[in-house]
Amino acid sequence: MPDLNLYILSCLIFWPIIGAILVALLPGRVAREAAFVVALLNFIFSLHLVQYWNYTASGYQFEASTPWIPKFGINYHLGVDGLSVLLILLTTFLAPLVILASWNSVQKHVKTFFICLLLLEAALCGVFTALDLILFYVFYEAVLVPIYLLIGIWGGPGRIYASIKYFLANFLGSVLMWLAMFYIYFHQQGAQRSFDYTAFVESAKSLDGSAVSLWLFAAFAIAFAIKSALFPLHTPAPDAYGEAPTAGSVFLSAVLAKIGTYGFLRFVLPSFPEVSTYAAPTMVMLGLIAVIYGAMIAVMQKDFKRTIAYSSISHIGLIVAGIFGALLAGESAGINFSQVALSGASLQMFNHGISTAALFILLGILHERRGTTAISHFGGLAKPMPRFAVLFWIALFSSIGLPGLNGFIGEYLLLQGLMSAQLLYAALGATGVILGAVYMLKLSRNLLFGEITEEANRALPDVNRRETFVVALLLLVALWVGVRPQSFLNFINPDTAKITQSATQSSVELAQR
């Protein structure tokens, strides 16, 4: 039923937009409640995807298309597959929780704040459902507007610099991608030119291996590397993550950074399989440098939000290394380690979103209570805030990959895939994992243990019921993934198998040249 499918996916995009309009029209005193109801309903709508998901099929489900600007081959084309469905669920799940977490922390322009959150949710759902390159680009750019406002209006002391730097860097990457898109578009035959995803990928593949394909690959790769904060294009991210309000930090690290890694899987690997294979060793090393660099900088941080910011850079680096390491991995004992690496990368995108959201929300609670993010102003918080300490420890273990929690299975699959590609890759990736335990345990020690050195910390109120509820839901999902990972991998595996088959074929063709 195409019309019904179109309605289902469109609802995830346009319901938050309608909700933002309603919030704008309602009195300011009910803005929080209205925004929460809108976001909660959108999450309920997204569960329809889970209920009617076909776990045995690869390719797009709930797919529907209608002409938008047919003269230029532009369609309103939506669809989801295993690569995007978990990211949509992550987005719609986080939105109501972030609103609850921000319930009392926003004191100025309250209506505008929640309008920005709803518009950001709508744009993110559009990014992960668009199957037309122009439609994707519209949502890709639209994401920048609400996040720019969230950082610039409600951020910390350096918010103006951070918001402008983040916006300009991502906009520059978008322009490069835009130019590459139009080159591929005009490469098609005049009457058959289209921005539809399938036609566009086939057109890009016809250029793959030519001299220009390396430049096209670079344009897309730079855009997605900036978005995912991949070394050495990561510099806007720590400022943005550190200065953003809690809601902005959560969405930046948990979802917006995944647009970049999603872009590598959705557009780069399918469109440029030969160039991707050729560039894979370089991309893997850049990812592994990000793993170690991000972890080492996190160890030295004196600001707890920036610690998690550099932690995110490290985790995203491992995901990128896994994506491109899959192109170099082999098969042994009937196990295709290319698919193992891609499935691990896809699952870890979701896992990292859950764990980093919990950490940023918990640290946002401290910031809200004390008005500072300097680690030196804390210590001994386990005594006045025991519930906070328990929640923080579980979130910490989730982040560093303790067995039984979500981070473990994703990192295990990624490192297994990298091991198949080259022992050095797995060793460097594991080094980042070890350093991750170092900086997180150091942060925990400095915040929770030792003597209470400042009198203001003795009377800090523990997390309340609302805050406990928000973080507990995130940690329950972390536990669910850790105990039952296959229920999440079932979404991913058919589509990673499809990508693996195409990548393997391209690797063989490249080796024969």
Each residue's pLDDT tens digit, 312-367: 999 999 999 999 988 887 765 567 778 888 899 999 999 999 999 999 999 999 98
Q: Is the pLDDT of residue 1 over 50?
A: no
Burial (CB count within 10 angstroms: exposed 0-12, middle 13-18, buried 19+), residue 45: middle
Of 53, 507, 60, the closest CA to residue 266 belongs to 60
Q: What average pLDDT does range 368-378 have in this prediction?
A: 87
The better pLDDT of the pair 307, 1 is held by 307
- Buried b or exposed e, range 162-179, using 16+ CB within 10 angstroms: bbebbbebbeebbebbbe
Each residue's pLDDT tens digit, 243-286: 999 999 999 999 999 999 999 999 999 888 889 888 899 999 99
**Averaged confidence pLDDT in the chain:** 88
Q: Which amino acid is at 182?
A: F
- Here the tokens at position 256 are 């917006």
Percentage above 90 pLDDT, the chain? 51
Q: Is the pLDDT of residue 136 over 50?
A: yes
Q: Are strands 335-336 and 61-69 parallel, antiparallel or unpaired?
A: unpaired
Q: Is the pLDDT of residue 436 over 50?
A: yes
Q: What is the 3-state secondary structure (H, E, C) of 357-381?
A: HHHHHHHHHHHHHHCCCEHHHCCCC
Q: What average pLDDT does range 202-210 have in this prediction?
A: 83
Q: Is the pLDDT of residue 450 over 80?
A: no
Give the pLDDT confidence score for residue 3 in this predicted structure: 52
**Rounded CA separation 290/461 (Å):** 37
By 3-state DSSP, what share of the chain in percent is helix, strand and coil, each rounded to 5?
A: 80, 5, 15
**Rounded CA separation 177/184 (Å):** 11
Model confidence band, residue 189 (pLDDT cutoffs 50, 70, 90)? confident
What lies within 8 Å, CB to CB, of 208 at 6+ separation is 271, 272, 273, 274, 275, 506
Q: What average pLDDT does range 22-51 have in this prediction?
A: 91
Each residue's pLDDT tens digit, 379-410: 888 888 999 999 999 999 999 888 899 989 98
**Rounded CA separation 149/165 (Å):** 13
Each residue's pLDDT tens digit, 103-118: 888 878 889 999 999 9
Model confidence band, residue 69 (pLDDT cutoffs 50, 70, 90)? confident
What does pTM read for this prediction? 0.91
Q: What average pLDDT does range 454-481 have in this prediction?
A: 90
Q: What average pLDDT does range 370-381 have in this prediction?
A: 86
Most confident of 132-136, 205-209, 329-333: 132-136
Kindly give the residue spans of alpha helices, DSSP state H, lying in 2-81: 2-25, 31-51
Model confidence band, residue 92 (pLDDT cutoffs 50, 70, 90)? very high
Q: Is the pLDDT of residue 94 over 80?
A: yes
